[in-house]
Chain A
Amino acid sequence: MKPTDTNNPDYFHKVVDCQWACPAHTPVPTYIRQIAQGDYTGAYLTNRASNVFPGILGRVCDRPCEPACRRGRVEEKPVAICRLKRVAADHKDDIKQYLPKKPSVLNGKKIALVGAGPASFTVANDLAPLGYNCTIYEKLSKPGGLMRSNIPAFRLPEEVLMEELNYIIDMGVKLKLNTPINSMRSLLQEGYDAIFVGSGAPKGKDLNLPGRWEDKKHIHIGINWLEEVAFEHTKKIGDNVLIIGVGNTAMDCCRTSLRLGAKSVKVMGRKPRSFFKASDWEVEDAEEENVEIIINHSPEGFITKNGRLTGMLFSIMEHDIDADGNILNSKSIAKVTIPCDDVILAIGQENAFPWIEVDAGIEFDQWNVPIVDKKTFESTKKGVFFGGDSAFGPKNIIWAVEHGHQAAISIHNHCRGVSLKQRAPDEIKLKSTKMGMFEWSYSNSYDESERRKMEHVDLVKRFSKLNMEVEVGYSPDQIATEVQRCLNCDIQTVFDAPKCTECDACIDICPVECLSITENTHNEDIIRKSLNSDKNELNQSLFISEELKFTNRIMVKDENICLHCGLCAERCPTAAWDMSEGIVKIHHADSQDTEYVSEVIK
């Protein structure tokens, strides 16, 4: 097989599973090392450069990084990446001096941003320091988008939200609250150089079953209801509440109901738990608060008496599930009525653009979702861009941030007459971490501690106020232990084939046997066999070296199981292996023109 091209920035980037899995490619191991060194401010700024809202995301991110974490291949639980992000945000110093400022001379370009959510704020964050005049339009009286209206304050306190939004507002971004945009056509006529639509997917799905319209007052749409609670229009709910749906919104609804005085809250799912859309930890947190999770109940109708909701009718389902966990067949085996005072529907949300006129020049597909370029985020109308949930339907905050970064590059190019396709490619810098005999500039020894458990405010106390934050954050001891669990996957094993004397020392020392020297063949299966490599994880790369000088064999490494402990490099008598920090440079709008050449610093 051909030697691996490690100059391709994606090769080493992919090895850092958490960073690769993060839509915004946050350099996780870098910030965890900064936390380990007590540099919370540095860790915060590292985060902010990629994901803009470390304090917010450190609490409520969907954490695509954690299931990807290499640690999860060694033991049950990944590194608490998200919690450590919050650590950086909680313990940082005043960071205002390190943030980009509004330039004294603007560039004369005006950008309109629709919706004050994470996507629009990210665009503003990237463009305002470059001299763009950004105006955010928001229909509600406070900014934040779904971060404010859908995420309850007991998970995300308002101070945290406002702190991070204010950093961006302070860059000279104009925020027009209580200003809904009712017409795209008239917005287009206001002379903006570009328009960004980040208005989310604001329409909660309804459940049109018998009895639905007989009691409108006690049947709620989840996201609308959460918004009413967030803006204090709704302050109480009945004793017995049913939540229909098993996503993260359902978990927020059930926990919010408890805080509004509900005595008994049941979350009703149609399928078994393995099919739940909610993150495991959100389900766990709800159960800790004595929310009942009921599976295999499919809603059939609303039961009312004299126009007042009294219960819901469900079919009890039986599912035929195959070995791979797919449902082959479902059937109803019985019917049951569960009494309740209120029902909250949390079964999904969709895009809605009643304010974009048919003839505004923006094309929509058959599901009424705008046609948006997946790379440039431009709609079919030049100069109009979409991002966040409004682009491709509901995702999450971290995706909205990444959409914002990409849309900002497009807007920047659009405004200075550069092709939208001309985007600075990702780059990688490699820097040796060797400091001397058995000395590396990172903590390479394997720490076998298990994941630290986040402490919660005790049950009685947490219901005293609607906005009492439940998670208390990590203690100093927990921080010190958790940071050591990170395997430093960004410290890459870099192999210099001509130096190798084929003594096998690296292969022998490797605690997970991820190395092998073998005959070169075109058959990847044979090469994998020499490694005892797990075939089920073929999405992980094999490193193939150039041919070695004595026998023309090749050094092979299975990136899947490598723990980046550096023992191969410590043991190599000729320093053919080196542990080099791979710094992935991902360009945002501000560095599109910067000359940054991939280089290897030895």
Chain B
Amino acid sequence: MTSFIKPRISRKSAPKNKIGLTRQDYDGTMSTLCAGCGHDSVTAALARAFFELSIKPHKVAKISGIGCSSKTTSYLLKEAHGANTVHGRMPSFATGAMAANTSLTYFGVSGDGDSLSIGIGQMIHAMRRNANMLYVLENNGVYGLTKGQFSASADIGSVAKKGTVNDQPPIDPCALGLSVGASFIARSFSGDREQLVKLIRAGLMHKGFALIDVISPCVSFNDHKGSTKSYEHTYKYYSKLVHADYIPPAEEIKAAYDVGESMPIVLHDGGEIILRKLDPSYDPSDRSSAFSKITNNNTKEIATGLIYINKNLSDMAEQNNLQERPLNQIPYKELNPGLDNLKEIQKSFR
């Protein structure tokens, strides 16, 4: 707990983005998470990505469920729309919101408990529908809010704070996403801000479901020797597979990447996601090679970066012919077909 507040200071020389806001304008309330929690770094990375993309805070919907992770949404973008939903129900809530209003930028924050235990069914279906949202899964391998029991993402052999060894296999959200049709799958680490911010930028601009599994250590219950989700362990075995960054359409692509290693992916808005592969044999647009890369891993190495991307998959709005106009902007007369039309429609089902 904290007994201090982060002051809002707009220093004279603070850099401003294209819409004239400073990074501080993307802050939320003061975090009440434990000092050193990885989730706070994810918050900061999200705020930075939104700042860099010059997204208007009031055109964002931030949705979360229950858990330490789900508090994240309060800690940034205080001008955005937001809801803390029932435990594990964030994906359904977001899907519904999206159906009513596709004009907002949606992002959900969840944890390994919220997503991989109580809410696993919800998450799978949001991925299956390819709902156009960024889904950040803050993964620390324990239930921090209930004092550190193993979660469904705990690795075999990981040791709990009191010495218990986990021997159940973990659910890998990235493998799960690949199997059910998510179109953007990435893994990162709260300690690698540079990579995380770029992945978030790419994920936000990707049209479709973008999952980022972020290893985000729990300083209170899972940051000790023997834990496979501690800062020390993650820094040790952390490896970068693919660099990814979103380049807006107006910006010239300055970085010169070696042919064969770089892979520009043009998005719907004309911007590009530039991939730079550190392993030339790896192809992130190939679903089966992505699957084998993350499942057939015999080393302790944690592969991070953009694992899989498919920009050709139509998203939920396209599949269901959703209106671009938000429902709340459609006049009642137009929204309500009227009794006569209703009768016509009903007749067609008879």
Q: Say whether B144 faces chain A, with CB atoms less than 8 Å apart.
A: no
Q: How far is the CA of A550 from the CA of B14 in the complex (A)?
A: 31
Binary interface encoding of chain A residues 508-523 relative to chain B, with 1 for a CB under 8 A from any of its CBs, else 0: 1101110000000000
| CB-based contact A74/B4 at 8 Å | no
| CB-based contact B37/A505 at 8 Å | yes
B232 neighbours in A (Cβ, 8 Å): 501, 550
A501 neighbours in B (Cβ, 8 Å): 36, 223, 231-232
B23 neighbours in A (Cβ, 8 Å): 513
Q: List 28 A-B contacts (CB under 8 A).
A: A73-B11, A73-B13, A74-B9, A74-B11, A437-B3, A501-B223, A501-B232, A503-B38, A503-B217, A504-B40, A504-B41, A504-B190, A505-B36, A505-B40, A505-B41, A508-B31, A508-B43, A508-B44, A511-B7, A511-B9, A512-B9, A513-B23, A534-B13, A550-B236, A565-B7, A567-B4, A572-B35, A573-B219
Q: Say whether A367 faces chain B, with CB atoms less than 8 Å apart.
A: no
Q: How far is the CA of A437 from the CA of B34 in the complex (A)?
A: 13
Q: Say whether A434 faces chain B, with CB atoms less than 8 Å apart.
A: no
| CB-based contact B7/A502 at 8 Å | no
| CB-based contact B12/A511 at 8 Å | no
- In the complex, the chain B residue whose C-beta lies closest to that of A574 is B36
> A503-B217, A511-B24 are known contacts. Are A448 and B7 too (CB-CB below 8 A)?
yes
Q: In the complex, how many angstroms separate the beta carbon of A438 from the nearest chain B beta carbon?
A: 5
- Add 11 more A-B contacts to A446-B9, A511-B6, A572-B35 (CB < 8 A): A73-B11, A74-B9, A437-B3, A446-B7, A503-B217, A504-B40, A504-B44, A505-B40, A511-B8, A511-B24, A550-B235
Within 8 A of A (CB), among B89-110: none
Partner of B231, one of A74, A502, A507: A502
Q: In the complex, how many angstroms separate the beta carbon of B49 from the nearest chain A beta carbon?
A: 14
B8 neighbours in A (Cβ, 8 Å): 511
| CB-based contact B3/A438 at 8 Å | yes
| CB-based contact A438/B219 at 8 Å | no
Q: Say whether A28 faces chain B, with CB atoms less than 8 Å apart.
A: no
Partner of B40, one of A508, A537, A563, A565: A508
Q: In the complex, how many angstroms separate the beta carbon of A175 from the nearest chain B beta carbon?
A: 49
Binary interface encoding of chain B residues 1-22 relative to chain A, with 1 for a CB under 8 A from any of its CBs, else 0: 0111111110111110000000
A502 neighbours in B (Cβ, 8 Å): 191, 231, 235
Q: How far is the CA of A517 from the CA of B10 in the complex (A)?
A: 23
Closest 3 CB pairs of A and B: A573-B36, A446-B7, A550-B235
Q: Is the interface of B mostly helix, strand, loop or mixed?
A: loop
Q: Say whether A445 faces chain B, with CB atoms less than 8 Å apart.
A: yes
Q: Say whether A570 faces chain B, with CB atoms less than 8 Å apart.
A: yes
Q: Say whether B293 faces chain A, with CB atoms less than 8 Å apart.
A: no
Q: How far is the CA of A505 from the CA of B11 in the complex (A)?
A: 21
| CB-based contact B191/A503 at 8 Å | yes
Q: Say whether B287 faces chain A, with CB atoms less than 8 Å apart.
A: no
Q: How far is the CA of A75 from the CA of B14 in the complex (A)?
A: 12
Q: How far is the CA of A388 from the CA of B85 in the complex (A)?
A: 72
Q: Say whether A176 faces chain B, with CB atoms less than 8 Å apart.
A: no
A550 neighbours in B (Cβ, 8 Å): 231-232, 235-236
| CB-based contact B11/A573 at 8 Å | no
Q: In the complex, how many angstroms separate the beta carbon of B350 from the nearest chain A beta carbon?
A: 60
Q: In the complex, how many angstroms separate the beta carbon of A40 from the nearest chain B beta carbon?
A: 28
Q: How far is the CA of A536 from the CA of B223 in the complex (A)?
A: 41
Q: How far is the CA of A313 from the CA of B42 in the complex (A)?
A: 70
Q: In the complex, how many angstroms separate the beta carbon of B87 from the nearest chain A beta carbon?
A: 26
- In the complex, the chain A residue whose C-beta lies closest to that of B5 is A445
- In the complex, the chain A residue whose C-beta lies closest to that of B15 is A532
Residue of A437, A509, A534 most packed against chain B (CB within 10 A)? A509
Q: In the complex, how many angstroms separate the beta carbon of B243 from the nearest chain A beta carbon?
A: 14
Q: Say whether A326 faces chain B, with CB atoms less than 8 Å apart.
A: no
A512 neighbours in B (Cβ, 8 Å): 9, 11, 14
B191 neighbours in A (Cβ, 8 Å): 502-504
Q: In the complex, how many angstroms separate the beta carbon of B39 from the nearest chain A beta carbon?
A: 10
Q: Say whether B193 faces chain A, with CB atoms less than 8 Å apart.
A: yes
Q: How far is the CA of A445 from the CA of B30 in the complex (A)?
A: 14
- In the complex, the chain A residue whose C-beta lies closest to that of B14 is A512
Q: Say whether A451 faces chain B, with CB atoms less than 8 Å apart.
A: no
Q: How far is the CA of A507 from the CA of B31 in the complex (A)?
A: 13
Q: How far is the CA of A512 from the CA of B217 in the complex (A)?
A: 25
> A438-B2, A503-B231 are known contacts. Are A561 and B11 too (CB-CB below 8 A)?
yes
Residue of B4, B40, B190 most packed against chain A (CB within 10 A)? B4
Binary interface encoding of chain A residues 469-510 relative to chain B, with 1 for a CB under 8 A from any of its CBs, else 0: 000000000000000000000000000000001111101110
Q: Say whether A155 faces chain B, with CB atoms less than 8 Å apart.
A: no
Q: In the complex, how many angstroms separate the beta carbon of A567 from the nearest chain B beta carbon?
A: 6
- In the complex, the chain B residue whose C-beta lies closest to that of A446 is B7
Residue of B11, B31, B217 most packed against chain A (CB within 10 A)? B11
A534 neighbours in B (Cβ, 8 Å): 13
Q: How far is the CA of A592 from the CA of B193 in the complex (A)?
A: 50
Binary interface encoding of chain A residues 567-579 relative to chain B, with 1 for a CB under 8 A from any of its CBs, else 0: 1001111100000
A513 neighbours in B (Cβ, 8 Å): 23
Residue of B3, B8, B12, B31 most packed against chain A (CB within 10 A)? B12
- In the complex, the chain B residue whose C-beta lies closest to that of A440 is B4
Partner of B36, one of A503, A532, A563: A503
Within 8 A of B (CB), among A525-576: 532, 534, 536-537, 550-551, 561, 563, 565, 567, 570-574
Q: How far is the CA of A437 from the CA of B1 in the complex (A)?
A: 10
- In the complex, the chain B residue whose C-beta lies closest to that of A566 is B4
Q: In the complex, how many angstroms separate the beta carbon of A403 from the nearest chain B beta carbon?
A: 35
B219 neighbours in A (Cβ, 8 Å): 503, 573
Binary interface encoding of chain A residues 377-408 relative to chain B, with 1 for a CB under 8 A from any of its CBs, else 0: 00000000000000000000000000000000
A509 neighbours in B (Cβ, 8 Å): 6, 31, 40
Q: How far is the CA of A438 from the CA of B3 in the complex (A)?
A: 7
Q: In the complex, how many angstroms separate the beta carbon of A386 from the nearest chain B beta carbon?
A: 41
- In the complex, the chain A residue whose C-beta lies closest to that of B44 is A508
Q: In the complex, how many angstroms separate the beta carbon of A518 from the nearest chain B beta carbon?
A: 8
- In the complex, the chain B residue whose C-beta lies closest to that of A507 is B44
Q: In the complex, how many angstroms separate the beta carbon of A595 from the nearest chain B beta carbon?
A: 40
Residue of A445, A503, A508, A572 most packed against chain B (CB within 10 A)? A508
- In the complex, the chain B residue whose C-beta lies closest to that of A573 is B36
Q: How far is the CA of A448 from the CA of B8 in the complex (A)?
A: 9
- In the complex, the chain A residue whose C-beta lies closest to that of B7 is A446
B35 neighbours in A (Cβ, 8 Å): 505, 570-573
A508 neighbours in B (Cβ, 8 Å): 31, 40-41, 43-44
B4 neighbours in A (Cβ, 8 Å): 438, 445, 567, 570
Q: How far is the CA of A438 from the CA of B32 in the complex (A)?
A: 14
Q: How far is the CA of A438 from the CA of B34 in the complex (A)?
A: 13
Q: How far is the CA of A571 from the CA of B14 in the complex (A)?
A: 23
A567 neighbours in B (Cβ, 8 Å): 4, 6
- In the complex, the chain B residue whose C-beta lies closest to that of A560 is B13
Q: How far is the CA of A565 from the CA of B193 in the complex (A)?
A: 23
Q: In the complex, how many angstroms separate the beta carbon of A487 from the nearest chain B beta carbon?
A: 10
A563 neighbours in B (Cβ, 8 Å): 9
Q: How far is the CA of A73 from the CA of B11 in the complex (A)?
A: 6
A511 neighbours in B (Cβ, 8 Å): 6-9, 24
A505 neighbours in B (Cβ, 8 Å): 35-37, 40-41
A503 neighbours in B (Cβ, 8 Å): 36-38, 41, 190-191, 217, 219, 231
Binary interface encoding of chain A residues 38-82 relative to chain B, with 1 for a CB under 8 A from any of its CBs, else 0: 000000000000000000000000000000000001110000000
Q: In the complex, how many angstroms separate the beta carbon of B278 from the nearest chain A beta carbon?
A: 16
A574 neighbours in B (Cβ, 8 Å): 36
> A508-B43, A508-B44, A573-B36 are known contacts. Are A561 and B13 too (CB-CB below 8 A)?
yes
- In the complex, the chain B residue whose C-beta lies closest to that of A548 is B235
B190 neighbours in A (Cβ, 8 Å): 503-504
Q: In the complex, how many angstroms separate the beta carbon of A407 from the nearest chain B beta carbon?
A: 40
- In the complex, the chain A residue whose C-beta lies closest to that of B190 is A504
Q: In the complex, how many angstroms separate the beta carbon of B26 from the nearest chain A beta carbon?
A: 12
B235 neighbours in A (Cβ, 8 Å): 502, 550-551
A445 neighbours in B (Cβ, 8 Å): 4-5, 7
B40 neighbours in A (Cβ, 8 Å): 504-505, 508-509
- In the complex, the chain B residue whose C-beta lies closest to that of A512 is B11
